Amino acid sequence: MLLITGAAGFIGSCLVKKLNDEGRRDLVLVDDFSSRADKAPNLDGKGYLHKIHRDEAVNWFDQHNHSIEAVFHIGARTDTTETDTHIFDRLNLHYTQALWQRCCQYNIPFIYASSAATYGAGELGYTDSHQLPEQLRPLNPYGDSKNDFDRWALNQPTAPPHWYGLKFFNVYGPNEYHKGRMASVIFHTVNQIRANGSMKLFRSHRPDFADGQQSRDFVYVRDVLDIIWWLYQNRPENGLYNVGTGQARSFLDLATLTFRALNLEPKISFIDTPEDIRDTYQYFTEADMSKLLKAGYPLPFCSLETGIGEYVGHYLSHSQRLYF
């Protein structure tokens, strides 16, 4: 059996579908299934053996460890505006430590979600070197929690037989309908176009970036799934791996491409970045993908044009919500 945490969420539910497509339906899904009814459609039509509440998963793991082939720990508290560090300590740090320790004890491969938020403002670059986490200064408690676990894992005397900490950059794609404010700008652009025919992007509050030229490494969820599956199948050297495309694109590019995917002329204006995130806002991210490529990863990364075309054309442009 394969155990997937965060299974009802965006990336987790897409991973369940990917594993189904690869012939795996012997899946144990872990999440807080009772708290968010709007996530339930993410799992419609998907094959699995069991659903386990997040709070019961560690004990269940102890009782059934002999049947677990690998753990895909995708679940986390991902709200970058949350300021309660106790929430992040419990859900992102201590919970992940408990799963790691059991994968060590039972000799089970462990793949977990880290984040590009660990890189902070990018002043030290975006390389997935194991020397970097001790020096990184994330911009918010979410990024701190992810970096805290990366640092902890790298300093452990024992490790799972195969382990990979995946530094997800800006992932977009279907099944993010429930994410609200944390959903991708593509999702919000389509919704704003439907509401009033236009899109408002955040204005730059730095003199070295023009409005709309804030840039991120946007990675389509299909690429993320392919990387996870390749790591699980091929088991290269253990460690941290960036999961992006290696090419930053501007939010203006992203919004313009979304309009064009809807066969509309862009109508874009700018508003101030909300004060609660202004001081912790990343103006540029770009994954250094050389480590994964040197490990032998063979697939090309989806361009922003292709990814937005599929996401908007196959999912967001329809009147009803379509799921991956």
Q: In what order do the strands lie in the sheet with 2-5?
A: 50-53, 27-31, 2-5, 70-73, 110-115, 163-168, 239-243
Residue 269 burial (CB count, 10 A): 11
pLDDT attached to residue 295 = 98
Strands (DSSP E) contained in 156-286 are 163-168, 170-172, 199-202, 215-216, 218-220, 239-243, 249-250, 268-271
pLDDT attached to residue 36 = 79
Query: What band does 35 get if pLDDT is binned at 50, 70 and 90?
Result: confident
Inform me whether the pLDDT recorded for 280 exceeds 90: no
CATH architecture assignment, domain 179-216+248-286+302-316 = Alpha-Beta Complex (3.90)
Q: What is the pLDDT of residues 6-25, one digit of tens each?
A: 999 999 999 999 999 999 99
Do the Cβ atoms of 112 and 166 come closer than 8 Å?
yes
Q: What average pLDDT does this structure show over 130-152?
A: 97
Domain ranges of the chain: 2-170+217-243, 179-216+248-286+302-316
CA distance 84 to 36: 20
Domain 2-170+217-243 fold? Rossmann fold (3.40.50)
Catalytic residues: 142, 179
What is the rounded average pLDDT for all residues in the chain? 96
pTM recorded for the entire structure? 0.96
CA distance 79 to 131: 27
Query: What band does 217 get if pLDDT is binned at 50, 70 and 90?
Result: very high
CA distance 164 to 154: 11
Inform me whether the pLDDT recorded for 232 exceeds 80: yes
Percent of the chain with pLDDT over 90: 93
